[in-house]
């Protein structure tokens, strides 16, 4: 049953939101029409024409059950992708030693790119169909993809199964788990989103260790079969709680092109492109870097991914706690700056065991906060009513970032570093968060020029 238009919910808070409007242009502050803010027309329109999709209250026990479901869905969908570095190491050093790093990295890259392409469409599907059903379908496709991949003995076959098919399936839990949390909370939006998105870091952490142990004990084929079965069962189990709180009315356009044309959206999109490009490089290459450059064991190398994923969980939770206090965009800027510093000041300058551990700690913490707070920033600037489709459009940036990140970095490692000198690849990785930071600073200037403003 649909309820009354969701915009009425915020009317009683108009006065309070007006007082806080200088801290950032939330959807409620836009409705309060505070002089000096000129919001895009689609923000107000989306909120005014949104309808409640359920009679379950926001901020209540059921809302936290939704957060748990999002946590599990992201733990398996993104967590498996974050653990691809283990497969990259295995393929590169053991199963396909004659293949180039670039070719092997395309398995994980295709996996993520298809998740992004699927995310653009699944974001709109989530506004038109039951997200619980879509999440369940995604779970089944994810499981089938990894089970089918276990029988593949060629890079092409793995690209089609572990890459393409898995990406299609994972796009539904990915978009739903990322966009739903912001709709279910008004008081602890940042914290709830941080907890939900920490699932991807938790998944990457234990999936990295589990995949390494499974490959060592039962081989890569059975490691993939076990992973596929676990992913399918767990995501299916929580799908009944994967539901949106708001949907746009049926009279709304499927795609609001005003959103794509808005300068604020384009600047945020640019920041997302470079942030995502920076994300996967360390996760994919740090395990093999540990073996080739630092002469550590393969297990030690995979532990670097585990360490980064562990700190990314801490980063997600920390940002969730602080986003409602100091502003999500402010935290996104701070975390992006930390990611840039960790790569530029440490990994570029040094190639020691202690330095690499420090990079894993700092970069893991920073990147976890970055991916966690992007949906909150989008909700603050553009409103929550159409957040699934907004996040879906941002997946265009995720797609572009996937192309801009690992493939060029791997090409530098192959062509310039001859698979042993990582200098060019590390420099490339280090410059990506710097570019993202410049876009974020531009966005903040577009919103407010007050240095201490909560944005």
| Lowest pLDDT segment from 19-23, 121-125, 196-200 | 19-23
The CA angle 389-397-421, to the nearest 5 degrees, is 150
Confidence of residue 187 (pLDDT cuts 50, 70, 90): confident
d(CA 342, CA 304): 15
Q: Give the model's pLDDT for residue 49.
A: 53
Q: Give the model's pLDDT for residue 123.
A: 65
SS3 424: helix
Please state, in angstroms and as integers, the Cα–Cα distance from residue 405 to each residue in 16, 276, 371, 432, following that order. 43, 7, 15, 8
Q: Give the model's pLDDT for residue 53.
A: 61
Residue range 305-354, pLDDT digits in tens: 888 888 888 888 888 788 878 888 999 999 999 999 999 999 988 889 99
Average pLDDT, integer, range 203-225 = 91
Is residue 242 within 8 A of residue 234, CB to CB? The reply is no
Q: Give the model's pLDDT for residue 329.
A: 93
Q: Give the model's pLDDT for residue 347.
A: 92
SS3 51: strand
Higher pLDDT, 3 or 242: 242
Using the predicted structure, report yes or no on whether residue 8 has a pLDDT greater than 90. no
Average pLDDT, integer, range 2-23 = 37
Using the predicted structure, report yes or no on whether residue 358 has a pLDDT greater than 50. yes
SS3 410: helix
d(CA 211, CA 95): 15
Average pLDDT, integer, range 430-445 = 96
Average pLDDT, integer, range 65-85 = 89
Average pLDDT, integer, range 344-366 = 92
Average pLDDT, integer, range 61-84 = 90
Using the predicted structure, report yes or no on whether residue 72 has a pLDDT greater than 90. yes
Q: Give the model's pLDDT for residue 378.
A: 86
Which range, 22-36, 129-143, 190-204, 216-230, is most confident?
A: 216-230
| Lowest pLDDT segment from 5-14, 86-95, 105-114, 379-388 | 5-14
DSSP 36: T
d(CA 206, CA 199): 11
| Parallel/antiparallel/unpaired status of strands 246-248 and 50-52 | antiparallel
Question: Is this prediction's pTM over 0.75?
Answer: no
Is residue 113 within 8 A of residue 400, CB to CB? The reply is no
How does DSSP assign 331-358, residue by residue? HHHHHHHHHHHIIIIIITT--SHHHHHH
Name the percent of the chain lying above pLDDT 90.
36
Confidence of residue 10 (pLDDT cuts 50, 70, 90): very low
> Domains, the chain, ranges and CATH?
13-48 (no CATH), 50-447 (1.20.1250.20)
Residue range 151-186, pLDDT digits in tens: 999 999 999 999 999 999 998 898 888 878 888 888
Higher pLDDT, 148 or 416: 148
d(CA 427, CA 356): 15
| Lowest pLDDT segment from 217-226, 297-306, 346-355, 443-452 | 297-306
SS3 152: coil
Higher pLDDT, 23 or 384: 384
Higher pLDDT, 298 or 408: 408
Using the predicted structure, report yes or no on whether residue 84 has a pLDDT greater than 50. yes
> Please, what is the angle between helix 298-326 and helix 263-292, to 10°?
150
Residue range 233-279, pLDDT digits in tens: 999 999 999 888 766 555 444 455 667 778 999 999 999 999 999 98
| Lowest pLDDT segment from 127-131, 264-268, 306-310, 362-366 | 127-131
| Lowest pLDDT segment from 43-57, 97-111, 147-161, 393-407 | 43-57
User: Which residue stretches of 219-297 are H helix?
Assistant: 220-238, 257-261, 263-292
Mean pLDDT over the full length of the chain: 81
Using the predicted structure, report yes or no on whether residue 20 has a pLDDT greater than 80. no
């Amino acid at each position: 049953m649909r309820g009354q238009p969701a915009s009425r919910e915020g009317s009683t808070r108009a006065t309070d939101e007006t007082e806080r409007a200088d801290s950032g242009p939330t959807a409620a502050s836009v409705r309060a029409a505070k002089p000096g803010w000129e919001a895009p027309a689609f923000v107000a329109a989306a909120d005014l024409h949104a309808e409640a999709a359920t009679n379950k209250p926001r901020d209540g026990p059921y809302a936290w059950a939704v957060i748990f479901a999002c946590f599990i869905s992201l733990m398996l969908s993104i967590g498996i992708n974050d653990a691809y570095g283990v497969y990259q190491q295995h393929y590169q050093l053991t199963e396909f030693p004659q293949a180039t790093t670039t070719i092997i990295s395309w398995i994980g890259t295709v996996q993520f790119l298809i998740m992004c392409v699927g995310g653009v469409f699944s974001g709109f599907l989530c506004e038109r169909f039951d997200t619980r059903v879509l999440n369940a379908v995604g779970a089944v496709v994810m499981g089938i993809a990894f089970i089918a991949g276990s029988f593949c003995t060629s890079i092409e076959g793995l690209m089609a199964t572990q890459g393409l098919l898995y990406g299609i399936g994972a796009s539904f839990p990915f978009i739903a788990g990322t966009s739903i949390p912001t709709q279910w909370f008004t008081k602890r939006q940042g914290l709830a989103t941080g907890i939900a998105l920490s699932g991807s870091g938790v998944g990457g952490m234990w999936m990295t260790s589990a995949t390494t142990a499974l490959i060592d004990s039962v081989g890569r084929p059975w490691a993939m079969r076990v992973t596929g079965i676990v992913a399918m069962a767990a995501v299916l189990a929580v799908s009944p709680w994967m539901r949106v709180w708001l949907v746009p009315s049926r009279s709304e356009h499927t795609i609001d092109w005003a959103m794509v044309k808005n300068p604020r959206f384009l600047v945020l999109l640019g920041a997302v492109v470079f942030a995502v490009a920076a994300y996967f490089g360390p996760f994919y290459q740090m395990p093999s870097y540990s073996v080739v450059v630092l002469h550590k064991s393969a297990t030690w190398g995979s532990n670097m991914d585990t360490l980064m994923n562990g700190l990314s969980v801490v980063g997600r939770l920390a940002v969730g706690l602080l986003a409602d206090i100091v502003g999500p965009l402010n935290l996104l800027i701070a975390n992006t700056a930390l990611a840039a510093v960790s790569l530029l000041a440490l990994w570029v300058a040094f190639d020691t065991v202690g330095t690499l551990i420090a990079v894993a700690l700092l970069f893991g913490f920073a990147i976890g906060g970055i991916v966690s707070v992007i949906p909150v920033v989008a909700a603050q600037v553009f409103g929550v009513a159409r957040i699934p489709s907004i996040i879906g459009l941002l997946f265009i940036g995720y797609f572009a970032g996937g192309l801009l990140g690992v493939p060029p970095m791997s090409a530098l490692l192959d062509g310039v570093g001859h698979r042993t000198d990582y200098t060019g690849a590390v420099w490339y990785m280090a410059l990506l968060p710097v570019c993202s930071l410049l876009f974020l600073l531009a966005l903040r200037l577009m919103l407010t020029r007050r240095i201490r403003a909560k944005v």
